[in-house]
Amino acid sequence: MRLINLLEGGSLQLETGKEVTFKRVFTQEDFDRFAALSGDNNPIHVDPEFSARTRFGATVAHGMLLYSIVSRVLGTEFPGPGTVQIEQDLKFPTPTYMGEEVTVRLKVLSIQPEDETAELSTTVVRPDGSLGLEGRTLVRLPQKDVSERSSDR
């Protein structure tokens, strides 16, 4: 197992298999604010009457709104401040609706200490277990002191 100490003094440890999760509920106001900011005013996101007549039946989250919460975690909590995304692959297999409590999950798939990078899986899981977002990202780690060691865990 690879373990690296991140940040000066090793205040954050990142290891292959480590996972973080948190929950979030999106509101129609979130959809509307994201539409105003991004300029994506597609009525499937912002018009409940319109979207009720579509195959979705209700307004659905912008894909990039879902991803923005993943990005927030990467840059503020896990791995944390100073993290820089290098690559990102995304799929949006099922729609995510207003009012659903989703679980955001990031998991370390691999660490490359020599490059100061890590690959993580990124998912947003809907209440029924289906995925609203599925992806992976390669990030440059916010490290100043990198060390690698083996562990028999």
Residue at 53 is within a domain: yes
Q: What is the pLDDT of residue 7?
A: 42
- Is residue 58, in this structure, part of any structural domain at all? yes
103-112 burial code (b ≥16 CB/10 A, e <16): ebbbbbeebe
Intervals of the chain under pLDDT 50: 1-5, 7-10, 145-153
Please report whether residue 153 resides in a domain: no
Dihedral (Cα; 60, 124, 71, 40), 10-degree rounding: -10
Token pair for 144: 């100043």
Please name every residue paired with 137 in a beta bridge, in sequence order, or none if there are none. Answer: 88, 120
Q: What is the pLDDT of residues 87-122, one digit of tens each?
A: 999 999 999 999 999 999 999 999 998 889 999 999
CATH number of the domain to which 133 belongs: 3.10.129.10
Is residue 12 within a helix (H) or strand (E), and if so which, with residue range?
strand 12-15
Question: What residue numbers bound the domain in which 87 lies?
Answer: 3-140
Q: What pLDDT shows up at residue 66? A: 95
Does 151 fall in a domain? Answer: no
Q: Does 13 fall in a domain?
A: yes
DSSP structure string for 77-112: TSS-TT-EEEEEEEE--S--BTT-EEEEEEEEEEEE
Predicted pLDDT of residue 98: 93
